[in-house]
Every structure is written in C-alpha cells, then in structure tokens.
Chains A and B, each alone.
Chain A
C-alpha cells in the first residue's frame, strides 16, 4: 500500500512534561456551562479581564498551551482568542475565566456584581 512519508526524524523527548490524565467532569456540567446564557457568560467584551484580575485572586494556575491543544494549523491560529467569563455564583463573587485552553477561578465580588448589572 502506498504511503505518504511524513517522517522528519526520530521521536525526541521534549523537556517539558504534561500528563495526559483527565480530571473528572460530567458532560452535562460541561455543556451546562455553554447553556448558562447571557446572564452567566460574557465573551469577548471583557477581553482585558484576565490581565485586570489580581494574580493573587486566581485559585488555579493557567494550563500550559501545547501545539496539539491549540490544534496546530487550527482554526484559531493567529487570531485573538476570546475570553469567556462564567459568573458561577453572583453572591459569593466566584467567576470562571476561560481563554484558549486555560481556566482560571477568580474571586471578585465587585466584578461579579458589575457583570450581573450589565444584564439587567
């Protein structure tokens, strides 16, 4: 059978390490995030949010981007990545901030309140 030779040398071990393990999450909760609606999610309009959030407020470090996760040559390459904010709990001020393949948990009651006011 004919094959296309994509060989570019033998596999080398990169210095960085990232395990392939998958944290628990249900598909329902995953899609639920997408279905929260305008009251809970804000995309793009808060593009500067990630930079504005105090570093100390983040409860989870940003994940590393890998070429595969970005989908080398993928649709998003070379474009400004949107920032999506999910106001998990307006009362406590917990927000989830998504950008690229990262997720950051933020505690900012003032910001949560301001976001909620924009939807009224």
Chain B
C-alpha cells in the first residue's frame, strides 16, 4: 500500500515499482502545483554498502491529462545515470559527504528531465542534475537535511525538481490489513475465523514508519499544466508510470545487461490503493501495463468492490446496511465518481473535480481550490476540499478515506436515501501523520528528510 509491491510482477522489480503519487496546489506557492511520484518501496535506511538508487534502465514518467480523455497531454520524463568514481574501493563514500560535488562520494546519480507534449513533441529541459546521496549516517552525511536541500534544482521556464531519497510519508498498518482484513482498533469485532485471538481493541502500527522511498518531485507553474485558453478546465488528472525497454539480455562477455527496443510501461499509479485493493490479483500486471484511458475494463471492480462484500462478513453485525447495499447489486456510482471520473458539480457543495465521462484512474486535482489553512487529513469527506480525493497531499489519510468510502460513507452522495452504517464513519487502521517519525516539510519537496542508516532502526 498504497501501491507498494501491489502486483505480482512489479513486486520483483523495486526500482520500477511506484508506491505513491501526490498532486496538490503548493501551500507556500499557490500559483504552482506540486507533483510527486515515489518509487522503490520499503527501503531499510541501513541499506549499505549498495544504497538505494533509481534504475538507469528505467524511464520514469509523470503524466498530466488536462482535457479529461485519460491520455497524457503533458509528460515529464526522467532518466538516470550512475557514476562510479573509484571502482577499486568497496565503499559508497570514502569520507564525509559535505557537498554534492564531494570527491568522497563514490557512487552518485544524475538525471535528465524532458517534457513531452501531445501537440508539439518532446524537449529536454535539463541534464546532469544531481541526486542527493542516500542518508548514510552522522559520519558520512553529517548535515543531511541541508545537503539534500541543495539537490533541489530550478527548471527552465519556471519550476523546481528534486529526485532522491526521502522519508516515507505514507502510513498504513500493512501487517494487520493483509492479515485477512484485520483492523487493530476493531479487531475484537473481527470474526477471527473462530479463533478468538483478539479480545480488545489495539492501536494501529505504522509498518512504513522509519523507512525511506525515492521521490521524483516537481513544482510547476499552473500555466505549465493547464490546457491553454481562458476557458480551460482547472482540473488536471495525474499519474506516474515506469517504463522499460522490450528486451533485457545479459551480455556475459561484458558482464552487463543489454537493454534494447522501445519503452513499454511496467508500472502505473494514480489513485492510491486502486490496483492494490480493487483490481483482482489476476489482472494487476495487466493494469500496470495500460494507460488510464483503458480503465473502462476495470470499472466493475470499482462499482462492485470485493472489499465492500468482505467487510460485513469479516465484522459480523457491524455493517448491516453495507451488506444490504452489496446484496442489492446496485453499482457503487460514488466510487466510480471518486476514482474514475471525478465528482461532478452539485454533489459536494462548492466542489468538483469532474473531468468528463471517460473512466480513467487518475489523481484529479481542481487547481482552482486554494490550499487549506487548516488541513483535515480526511480531505473532502472531512470537509477539506483541498485534500484527497481532490489531488492528494503528503499527509492525507488515504487509507482511512478509502476504507470509509468503500464501507459506504460516500454512497449517499449518489443515493440520499441510503444510511451508512455507523461503523462506516469511524472505520480506520488507527494511524495519523503522528505515526510518521520524520516530520513533513512546509516547503518543496514536502516529504520528510530521509532516515539515516546509523540511527534507524533505533
């Protein structure tokens, strides 16, 4: 979760495995949007001697649809290159790394950024941008926060870019949820398959705490992401994809992998939990290979989600109204709107992120809604229109939001006669941003400073 190791094939290819996507109007620069795509899940900070890095053989894309057809109108592309200064040492660094050009930093990555526009093609914006090192420890990276900050680069035409290690900002009780849908705060209500293991509620456990990810972050002027013209929609759809070339072949003579052929998509992520929770196991790899415009074939998994059918059985007597809704066979038009089209005007007062009738899993952000002065981590269902599913901020509690939506809390949006179960309004895995040790930042790139390998785990 939200897309960490979510499909069988991509779980074996971590450098191409997208974990989370964020899109929000920048709170400190409200004439810009921030887009973040995270990769390489569940990084143990003490990852030496070969610390984590992006794949030189992977093309990372962040896509923007600004006309609602589920196809990319603008794509930012990232390619990485690893450099080894001294192949004769076994060390990642041979002394403290105080600057990004430190000769003591032995294995480093740089990257290029290109932008592809569906109208006019592709242009390289910058090359040779340096990533920060991984956060090794107090001797190797003694001033890491400051060092990583110097890896924020300006882009021509306006905007900022950063690519490198950050603290994982997504919080989830993975161990409980994937133990047959157990939620610790309600585990005494779980049917426990008759085993009577739990007798009382327990606090959630953040299984992604003190782990790192690799982030690709952009902060772009609104004018760079919206369709041209005064009547253009303020709503954009955002997703990321990772792409590999057709052929990977090991050249034994050279001792290296040869990549050849056109790039093909191997990983995709828009809304959190879409492929993870809604798409069935037998189709997750297929979903990862397709663009959002092809998502109509997955719509039935949204309008009849398997988890909604499971909850009443897992928690006997807790979700009677949800059970009746599932039994009725009525499609979950609320979930279809939230995840596949955006919410049309008139559903939530003062809000829409509707992009049209094309069914496409994208993170939809209405850029005309100002950042919230007092954010609510439950986003729109918490009365905060600047939060998920209006885009997604780094601290939004998407697990609880999605759990409650699937449990029926949002169904009255499309059927006012439906009364959600009381549990639908309180169900949660029991975590909040306080479950994340590294604090989020108030400025770009917003995700916390990467945990170091010396102090973690403590």
Q: Which A residues contact B (CB, under 8 angstroms)?
A: 1-28, 30-31, 33-34, 41, 43-44, 63, 66-69, 71-75, 81-84, 86, 96, 98-103
Task: Give bound CA distance, A22 to B294, whole Å.
Answer: 11
Which residue in chain B gives the minimum CB-CB distance to A82? B258
Task: Give bound CA distance, A20 to B62, whole Å.
Answer: 11
Which residue in chain A gives the minimum CB-CB distance to B154? A5
Q: Is the CB of B156 within 8 A of A67?
A: no
Which residues of A lie under 8 Å from residue B61 when comparing CB positions?
Answer: 20
Which residues of A lie under 8 Å from residue B122 when comparing CB positions?
Answer: 14, 16, 18, 66-68
Q: Is the CB of B249 within 8 A of A71?
A: no
Which residues of B lie under 8 Å from residue A28 when comparing CB positions?
Answer: 9, 285
Q: Quote the shortest CB–CB distance from A77 to chain B (angstroms).
A: 9
Additional pairs, 14, CB under 8 Å, beyond known A43-B258, A71-B80: A3-B154, A10-B156, A11-B125, A20-B72, A26-B286, A68-B59, A68-B114, A72-B124, A73-B127, A74-B81, A84-B249, A84-B258, A84-B261, A98-B245
**B156, B262, B294: which contacts A101 (Cβ < 8 A)?**
B262
Task: Give bound CA distance, A103 to B264, whole Å.
Answer: 12
Which stretch, B145-153, B299-307, B322-330, B341-349, touches the partner chain A?
A: B145-153
Q: Is the CB of A30 within 8 A of B114?
A: no
Which residues of A lie under 8 Å from residue B261 when comparing CB positions?
Answer: 84, 96, 98-99, 101-103
Q: Is the CB of B156 within 8 A of A9?
A: yes
Q: Can you report 26 A-B residue pairs in the complex whose CB atoms are below 8 A from each other?
A: A1-B152, A4-B152, A6-B153, A6-B156, A7-B156, A10-B157, A11-B115, A11-B224, A13-B120, A20-B75, A27-B289, A30-B266, A31-B9, A41-B249, A43-B260, A63-B262, A71-B79, A71-B80, A71-B112, A73-B127, A81-B260, A82-B258, A82-B260, A99-B260, A101-B261, A103-B261
Q: Is the CB of B243 within 8 A of A22?
A: yes
Which residue in chain B gives the minimum CB-CB distance to A71? B79
Task: Give bound CA distance, A101 to B244, whole Å.
Answer: 10
Q: Is the CB of A17 within 8 A of B121?
A: yes
Within 8 Å of chain A (Cβ to Cβ): is B380?
Answer: no
| Interface SS, A side | loop
Interface centre among B56, B153, B260, B288 (most CB of A within 10 A): B260
**CB-based closest 8 A-B pairs:** A68-B114, A98-B261, A11-B157, A20-B75, A71-B79, A98-B260, A13-B120, A17-B121
Q: Quote the shortest CB–CB distance from B60 to chain A (angstroms).
A: 11
Q: Is the CB of A27 within 8 A of B285?
A: yes
Contact of A98 with B119 at beta-carbon distance under 8 Å, contacts A4-B150, A11-B157, A72-B79 already known? no
Q: Is the CB of B443 within 8 A of A1?
A: yes
Interface centre among B61, B123, B247, B264 (most CB of A within 10 A): B247
Which residues of B lie under 8 Å from residue A22 when comparing CB positions?
Answer: 241, 243, 264-265, 290-291
Q: Quote the shortest CB–CB distance from B98 to chain A (angstroms).
A: 14
Q: Which B residues contact A (CB, under 8 angstroms)?
A: 9-10, 56, 59, 61, 63, 71-72, 75, 77, 79-82, 110, 112, 114-130, 149-157, 160, 224, 241, 243-249, 251, 258, 260-266, 285-286, 288-291, 294, 443-444
Which residues of B lie under 8 Å from residue A12 when comparing CB positions?
Answer: 123
Which residues of B lie under 8 Å from residue A19 when comparing CB positions?
Answer: 72, 116, 118
Which residues of A lie under 8 Å from residue B249 when comparing CB positions?
Answer: 34, 41, 43, 82, 84
Interface centre among A19, A20, A103 (most CB of B within 10 A): A20
Q: Is the CB of A84 within 8 A of B81?
A: no
Q: Is the CB of B444 within 8 A of A1?
A: yes
Task: Give bound CA distance, A72 to B251, whole Å.
Answer: 22
Contact of A11 with B123 at beta-carbon distance under 8 Å, contacts A21-B72, A98-B261, A103-B262 already known? yes
Which residues of A lie under 8 Å from residue B110 when comparing CB positions?
Answer: 73
Q: Is the CB of A2 within 8 A of B152?
A: yes
Which residue in chain B gives the minimum CB-CB distance to A43? B249
Q: Is the CB of A6 within 8 A of B117?
A: no
Task: Give bound CA distance, A7 to B156, whole Å.
Answer: 4
Task: Give bound CA distance, A82 to B315, whole Å.
Answer: 58
**B10, B80, B153: which contacts A27 (Cβ < 8 A)?**
B10
Which residues of B lie under 8 Å from residue A103 when comparing CB positions?
Answer: 246, 261-262
Q: Is the CB of A74 within 8 A of B79?
A: yes
Q: Quote the shortest CB–CB distance from B313 to chain A (angstroms).
A: 33
Which residue in chain A gives the minimum CB-CB distance to B80? A71
Q: Quote the shortest CB–CB distance from B24 to chain A (angstroms).
A: 17
Contact of A66 with B289 at beta-carbon distance under 8 Å, contacts A4-B154, A17-B120, A74-B81 already known? no
